[in-house]
Structure 1
Amino acid sequence: MALSGKLICSLDISKKGDVFLDIFRYNPHEFSAICPHKVHACELIEGDRGAVGSLVHWHYTHEGKKKIDKAVIEAVDEEKQKIVFDVIGGDLVEDKYKTMKVIFHTEKKGDAQVLTVTLEFEKLNTTVPYPTSFMDWFCSVLKDIDLCI
């Protein structure tokens, strides 16, 4: 069983990709207004909002439990409408994963606009499950956002 892996989810979205990039980069605090039963807050802890190197705390409910994660904006590519978060602490990585990156990328495919979420991770050991339930949760949050913005 591999210790590192990648999960990918692609969703057709009704908005242009720059709308999603903007909310993830500059306005993640809006998640709590859009889907308060899933995301409770996103606080800027260090750095400038949307800047590479900024540290944010995400407060959310997953699998019926309130959780907190710390993530750094690792990279932003406005041309490719891509943002990379490196999860550096909190419930998602604690005792489970050595590394976890969450990558959002939007692109036009034919007449459709597609949002792709990629989780790149390294498990601490072979008994740690793949983060499929987190990916399912994340995709449901993204669907909520697409409906509301």
Structure 2
Amino acid sequence: MGLKSKLSAQFEVKTKHDVFLDVFSHKAGHVSTMCPVHIRSAELLEGDFGTVGCKVCWKYTHDGKEMISKQISEAIDEEKKTMIVREFEGDLANEYENWKLTLHVNAEGEKNLVCWTMEYERPNENIPELTNLLQFIIDFTKAVDDHHVKQN
């Protein structure tokens, strides 16, 4: 068993918080048009976008490298405004075990908030924490936010 890690970031966005759950669950195939600098494509491998069990192959550029993440949707809760995906194959799975990403969106008063939480296991202390990946996720979420602000 590896070293368990959990990283989380919550931040305010300009777009109504519901948009993000819809984009990342139901409209993942369009994310590359919203933030092409970060995401090259999100290809549906199995199932339907927005459903539990759907498999998506994300191609993205991180730290100057072309990367792939094949993810399966484990949970989507429209009422609680959460989504959980797990990587089953890809660049992260080659170094990290049990990589899971949770999206939670909500509103606190006038603030629209997005929270991403990554959980994973490192095989040993020589494998770095994924703080730079969390920053990447924040950056592409903000790019999606900017895209929606420009559209309105």
TM-score category (smaller protein): over 0.9
Secondary structure, counterpart of 1:92 in structure 2: helix
Residue identity opposite 2:55 in structure 1? L
* 1:104 CA displacement: 0.5
Counting only pairs closer than 5 Å after superposition, residues 106-125 of structure 1 correspond to structure 2 as 106-125=105-124
Counting only pairs closer than 5 Å after superposition, residues 1-149 of structure 1 correspond to structure 2 as 3-94=3-94, 96-149=95-148
Residue identity opposite 2:68 in structure 1? I
- Structure 1 segments of 4 or more deviating over 3 A? none
* 1:17 CA displacement: 2.1
CA contact (8 A) 2:87 2:93 kept: yes
CA contact (8 A) 2:46 2:54 kept: yes
Whole-angstrom CA distance in 1 between matches of 2:17 and 2:79: 10
Higher helix proportion, which one?
Answer: 2
Structure 2, unaligned runs of 5 or more: none
Whole-angstrom CA distance in 2 between matches of 1:125 and 1:99: 14
CA contact (8 A) 1:82 1:103 kept: yes
Secondary structure, counterpart of 1:37 in structure 2: coil
* 1:16 CA displacement: 2.0
- Per-residue CA deviations over 1:55-99 (Å, capped at 9, x if unaligned) read 1000000010101110000001101111001111101221x2111
Secondary structure, counterpart of 1:51 in structure 2: coil
Structure 1, unaligned runs of 5 or more: none
- Normalised TM-score (structure 1): 0.95
Secondary structure, counterpart of 1:144 in structure 2: helix
Whole-angstrom CA distance in 2 between matches of 1:49 and 1:145: 18
Whole-angstrom CA distance in 1 between matches of 2:49 and 2:147: 22
* 1:110 CA displacement: 2.5
CA contact (8 A) 1:99 1:123 kept: no
Whole-angstrom CA distance in 2 between matches of 1:47 and 1:34: 23
Whole-angstrom CA distance in 2 between matches of 1:112 and 1:60: 29
Whole-angstrom CA distance in 2 between matches of 1:136 and 1:15: 19
Overall identity of the aligned pairs, in %: 35
Residue identity opposite 2:78 in structure 1? E
Equivalenced residues, count: 147
Note the aligned Cα RMSD (angstroms). 1.1
